[in-house]
Structure 1
C-alpha cells in the first residue's frame, strides 16, 4: 500500500525523526527502518510522518524496557541459581521498592502519552480545510462528492474478472486499479467526510495515515495535506461482505494548477453528458445489446453472474426471472432506485441514461429471456424526473 514513487524528502530532520534516528543508532538498528517492508510507511503527509515517528519512538522505548527487564531477569537466574549455592532472601515488602516500581512506569507512560496525545489531537483537527470531499462506501465501491465543486462519481475496481478468476496474467496494479480515482490537489488541506449507504466500511490510505470507518447514518471526518503529486493506494479495511477484497481506494494527487484544470474538465464533461442525455434519441436493438452487455459485465456480473443465473440464496437470478420477463416499468424502477433491505443498489446516479436503457434492454433479451421489448433513454429520463 505504499506510494509508487516515494523517495527521500530533502531537508533537515524534524525533532521527532531525529529522536527516532538517535534511538535506532543506540539500538544498533539501521536508520533506514522506514524502508523495511514489514514496517509502517512514513507516508506522504506531515501527519503520517508524525504517526511513524511516534510509532518508532514508542517501539524503541518498549525495546529498551524489554532489554532491561529481561536482562535483569536472566542475569538473576544465572547469577543466583541454586547450583552456585545462592540462598533466597526472606523479606516481606519494601516501601522504597514499591514506590520505585510504581513511579518509574508512570513516568514512562506519561512520556509516551504526551506525544501520542499531541498526534491524536492533530489527526482530529479538520479546521481551516481548503477542500471538502464526501466519501460514501457502498457494496462494493466508493462514491466521491466534492462539496466545493459540482463533481461526483463512483470509483469501481478496474481489474478484469479474468485476472481474478486466474484466467489471465495479473498486472502490477492487480486489485488496486480503479476506473476513476479520487483526484486531489497537493499542498492543500483536504477534509474528508465519511459515511456509508449499507453496511460499515472503512476508508484506509496508509500513505495519508487515514483509516476511518464509514458508518450508515453517521458522518465521520478526517483530513490530509499531501506533499507531492503521485498515485496512492488503499482499500476498505472493514469486512463489508462478499466482495470486500475487491473495494480498493486509489487517489491521484495533482499540482493545484493541474487539479483546477481537471475540475474544470469534469464540470464541462458533466454538462455535456447532461445535454446529450436530454437530447438522446432512440437506440437500435443491436446497439443496446452491445452496450448493455458491456455495462452488465462491469456493474452487474459480480452478483447476478455472467449467465444471469445469480447465486442461489444470495443474489437472485435474472434469467427467466419475474423482474426481467415481467412489466418493463417494474424492471426499470428496481434498477434505477434499488431495493431497500437488499444488496440491490440504486444505479440511477451511477450510470448514464443510455447505459441504463441498454442494460435493462439487455437483461430483458439475454439468456433466453427474449422479451423483444426495449427501454429507451427517454424512458429513463422520464422515470428519473418523476422519481419513481
Structure 2
C-alpha cells in the first residue's frame, strides 16, 4: 500500500513538473526589447552571452546534483566517502572551480568594459544634435537646443491611453535616425533617471548638475521607457516615449513645431480682450495637462502634499494672491513657479481655476493682468 502511494505521489510530482515546464515555455519569448541603436545591440549581445554561459553552467551543476542524488542515495546502500577531501580532486577543486568562475567573469567583463566606455564616452570629433533632458515632478522637458524648440511630455490619464496607461505621453520625444544625438541630463527638483532600453543607457538627472550620454538610432519606431529613479509620490507617472523617424520626417516635424511656437507667441502677445468662455476652455485643457497631476482633474488634490483647489482660499480669494503663487510658486512645497508659461496660458489657467467646480467667482483674468503682475 505504501509502495503504491509512493508511485502515485511520484506520478503527481512528474505531472506537476511538466505543467510548470509548459507554463515556463509559454513565457520563453520574454526578453530585452529589440535594440534600436548599435551600442544597445552590443549590450544586448553581452546579455545573451551571459545568459548562454549561465544556462550551460546551470545544466552542468544540475546534472551533477541530480546524478549524485540518484546514485548516492541511502536507499541504494551508498556509503559516504569519509576521505574525499584527501583525494586529488578534493584538494584541488578549491582552486580549479574558483579559477573557472573567474575566467567566466573576465570573459564577460572584458566585453562589458569596452561597451561601457563606448556608452559613456560621447564622440568629440563629430557634429552631434543636442537634446537637453530635464526631469520634473512628475514630467519631462525636452529642449532641442539646435532648433530652439521645447517640448513638455506628461503621462496620458487613464481612460485616454487605452492599454498603454502609464506608458503613453501627450508629447513624444521625436528623434531622427542615423544621427548622433547628445543628451544633456539635469533635474529641476529631485533625482530622476532617463531610461529607454532600446537607446542603450540609463542616466541619472541630478539637480544642479548636467551629465551627458549619446545614442544613434538605426531604425524607425516607437520606444517606451520610464523614470528609473524613485522620485516621489507619482514616480510611476513619468513614462518616456521616443519616436524615431527619418531625417526628412524629423525636419518636417521641426518646421511644424517652430510654426506652432511662432503662432502661440503672436497669440499671447496680441492685445485682444478674451471672453471668459474662451479663457475657461483654453484653461481647462492647460490645467488637465499641466496641473491635474498634482491637484487632480476634479480639483480635490491629494492632501496634505497637494491641497485641493476646489474651495481653496487662494483660488477664491483676491486675484493678486492667486497670480503671485502661480508666478512665484510656494517655497518649501511641491508648488513650483509657472512663470515660464506665457501670459495667455497663465490667464487661462487662473480663469479656469476660479470658475471650475464649486469656485463660481465669475472672475476673468486677462493676459495684460498677468503681464502687469510679473
Correspondence for 1:149: 147
2:355 corresponds in structure 1 to 365
Query: TM-score under structure 2 normalisation?
Result: 0.83
User: Which of residues 59, 84, 89 is equivalent to 1:67?
Assistant: 59
> What is the total number of aligned residue pairs between the two structures?
343
- Asked if residue 123 in structure 1 is aligned to residue 119 in structure 2, the reply is yes
Cα separation, 1, equivalents of 2:143 and 2:55: 45
What is the CA-CA distance between 1:125 and the residue it aligns to? 1.8
Residue 230 of structure 2 is aligned to residue 239 of structure 1 = yes
SS in 1 for 2:272: coil
Aligned to 1:9: none
Q: Look up the match of 1:47.
A: 39
Work out the CA distance in 2 between the residues paired with 1:327 and 1:67: 74
CA contact (8 A) 2:133 2:185 kept: yes
Q: Residue 25 of structure 1 corresponds to which residue in structure 2?
A: none
Question: How much does 1:69 deviate?
Answer: 2.5
More helix by share: 2
Matches within 5 A, 1:291-310: 291-310=282-301
Matched residue SS, 2:162: coil
1:104 aligns with 2:104: no
| 2:267 pairs with one of 253, 276, 281 | 276
1:294, 1:267 → 2: CA distance?
Answer: 21
Q: Which residue is equivalent to 1:211?
A: 202
Q: Which protein shows a greater Rg?
A: 2
Deviation at 1:150, TM superposition (A): 0.8
In 2 relative to 1, CA 148–92 (structure 1 residues): closer, same or farther, beyond 3 Å? same
RMSD: 2.5
Query: Following TM superposition, by how much is the alpha carbon of 1:347 offset from its aligned partner in structure 2, in angstroms?
Result: 2.5
- Provide closer, same or farther for how the CA distance between residues 79 and 335 of structure 1 changes in structure 2, counting only shifts above 3 A: same
Change (3 A) 1:103 1:247: closer
Go from structure 1 to structure 2 and tell me whether the alpha carbon gap of 1:280 and 1:184 turns closer, same or farther (over 3 Å shift).
Answer: farther
Change (3 A) 1:285 1:87: closer
Q: Distance in 2 between matches of 1:257 and 1:43?
A: 22
Which 5+ residue runs of structure 2 have no aligned equivalent?
1-24
**How big is the shift at 1:172?**
4.2
Query: For structure 1, which runs of at least 5 residues remain unmatched after alignment?
Result: 1-32, 165-169
Worse-matched range after superposition: 307-316 or 54-63: 307-316
CA contact (8 A) 2:305 2:334 kept: no
Cα 1:81/1:139, change in 2 over 3 Å? same
Structure 1 pair 234–284 and aligned structure 2 pair: CA distance change class (3 A): same
- Tell me the CA shift for residue 53 of structure 1: 0.9
1:225-255 CA distance string (max 9 Å, x none): 1112222222222332333222221112121
- Once residues 357 and 56 of structure 2 are traced to their aligned partners in structure 1, the CA distance between those partners, rounded to angstroms, is 67
Structure 2 residue aligned with 1:136 = 134
TM-score (norm 1): 0.80
Distance of 1:74 and 1:144 partners within structure 2: 55
Aligned to 2:214: 223
> How far, CA to CA, are the matches of 1:237 and 1:54 in structure 2?
22
Counterpart Cα distance in 2 of 1:267 and 1:146 = 11
Deviation per residue, 1:42-100 (Å, 9 max, x gap): 32111121111101101111121222223223323433445344451424576544432
2:346 to 328, 339, 356: 356
1:202–1:214 Cα contact (<8 Å) kept? yes
**Displacement of 1:377:** 1.1
What is the Cα deviation at residue 188 of structure 1? 0.9
